[in-house]
Amino acid sequence: MDFQLNDEQRLFRDTLRDFVDSEIVPVARDWEHSGRYPTEIVEGMKQLGLFGLAVPEEYGGLAADTVSFALTFEEISRGWMGIAGILGSHSVSCFMLARHGTEEQKAKYLPDLATGKRRTGIALTEPGAGTDLQGIRTTARREGDEYVVNGTKMWITNARYADPLPVLVKTDPTAAPAHKGMSILLVEAGTPGFEVTADIGKLGYKGTESCEVVLTDVRVPASQLLGGVEGRGMQQALSSLETGRINIAARSVGIAQRAYDEALNYARERTAFGQAIGEFQAVQMRLAEIAVRLQAARLMTYWAASRMDDGVRMDTESGMAKIFASEQALACATDAMRIHGGYGYSTEFEVERLYRDAPLMSIGEGTNDVLRGVVAKSLLAGKAVIR
C-alpha cells in the first residue's frame, strides 16, 4: 500500500500550487467580497488545460487519473473554493458525456470542452426535488425529431456559461419506477425558451454563479438525447456523481488545509501576555486537532480516488470520503476561527470565508445524512467490505 504521490502527480501538484499562490490567493478575498467574476483565473485554468481533466486524450483532454483530479480541487479550494465550483460542475458533465455520449455527441462537444472554449455544468436539482431526483417535474415531450422541454432547475453552477447544459428530464412521466422514464438532454445556449432567470444569493461559495434556469417550450433535437436512448438519465447522472463526491471531498481537504495554514501562522505571530499564543496549551490542542483532521481527510480522499483508478466500483468509498472530509473541513474552519479570536470574525481575515464556504461541502453532491444511508445499505448488502 503506497500513500505517496508518484513523480508525475507531484509535478502536477506543484504546478497547481504555484498557480494558486500567484493567481488566486492574492485576489480571492477582495474579489469574493466585491462579487467580481474571476475571469482572469478562468483563463489561467484554460491555459493549464484544467477544463480537460475528465476528457479523454483522443478529444484533446488530460484524461487525468483520479488522484490528480482530486489534487486539482484540493489546491484550487485552498485558494478559493468557489473557483473550484466552476471546474467541478464542468468536469462532472464532461465525465458523463465521455462515458455515456454517442460518438457524434463526443466528437461535437468534447474537443471544445477540453480547452475551455466551451464550458458546461449539469442541471439536476429543482425547486421541489434535490436529493430526491426521481421527484423532478421537468418534462420532455417527443414531437417528431424534437423534444419539447418545460420545467425549472435550481442551484445550477455555470448556468450562464454552459453550452451545452445537460438537463435531467422526464421523457416518460408515467414510468414506474420513475427513474425508468428519466433522460438527459444536451441543451445548447441560446435555444429559444431557455432562460437563466436569477442568480441565487448564498452564504458562501461565491466566485461562481448558482442560478435558476427556466425552460419554456424549449425545442431540443432528438440527436441531443445523451447516449441516444431514453430512460437512462438517472443512471447516467448518478454514475458521474461518483467523481463529483471525490471532487467535494478534495475541496474539503483544500478548505481544511487553508484553515490549518492560517491558524498556524496566526498562532506563531499573534502575541498575548508577552508571548506568541501558540505557546499556550489551549491553542496547541486546537492546532494539533486541525492537523490530525486534515491529514486523515486527505488520506481518505486519496484512498477513494485511487480505488477509482483501480477500476473498481467505488460509490461506497467516494461516499465515505465525502462524508468524512466535509465534516472535517467545517471542524477545521471553526477551530481556525477560534484560534483567531475576534479577528476570525472579521472579513479582513481568510478564516471568515473558510467558515462560510465549509458548510456547503456537507450538502453538495448528496447530503451527508443521505450518503450515510447509502454507505450503510452497501455494507449490509455485502457490496463493500471494511477490514
Kindly indicate the confidence band of residue 242, based on its pLDDT and cuts at 50, 70 and 90. confident
pLDDT for position 237:
94
pLDDT tops 90 at residue 385: no
Kindly indicate the confidence band of residue 313, based on its pLDDT and cuts at 50, 70 and 90. confident
Q: How do the domains of the chain map onto residue ranges?
A: 7-115, 133-229, 235-380
Mean pLDDT of the region 280-296: 98
Kindly indicate the confidence band of residue 336, based on its pLDDT and cuts at 50, 70 and 90. very high
pLDDT tops 70 at residue 1: no
In sequence order, which residues have a C-beta less than 8 Å from that of residue 338 and are 6 or more positions away? 286, 344
pLDDT for position 315:
85
The pair phi, psi for residue 232, each rounded to 5°, is -105, 0
pLDDT tops 80 at residue 220: yes
pLDDT for position 30:
96
pTM, entire model:
0.96
pLDDT tops 70 at residue 158: yes
pLDDT tops 80 at residue 216: yes
What is the percent of the chain where pLDDT is above 70?
99
Fold adopted by 7-115: Butyryl-Coa Dehydrogenase, subunit A; domain 1 (1.10.540)
- The CATH number assigned to the domain with range 133-229 reads 2.40.110.10
pLDDT tens digits, 75-97: 999 999 999 999 999 999 999 99
Kindly indicate the confidence band of residue 21, based on its pLDDT and cuts at 50, 70 and 90. very high
What is the percent of the chain where pLDDT is above 90?
92
Fold adopted by 235-380: Butyryl-CoA Dehydrogenase, subunit A; domain 3 (1.20.140)
Catalytic residue flag (residue 365): yes
Q: What is the mean pLDDT of the chain?
A: 96
pLDDT for position 248:
97
CA dist., res. 211 & res. 201, Å (int): 9
pLDDT for position 387:
80
List the catalytic residue out of 23, 262, 350, 365: 365
Kindly indicate the confidence band of residue 110, based on its pLDDT and cuts at 50, 70 and 90. very high
Strands 146-157 and 165-170, by their bridges, are unpaired
pLDDT tops 90 at residue 386: no
Kindly indicate the confidence band of residue 116, based on its pLDDT and cuts at 50, 70 and 90. very high
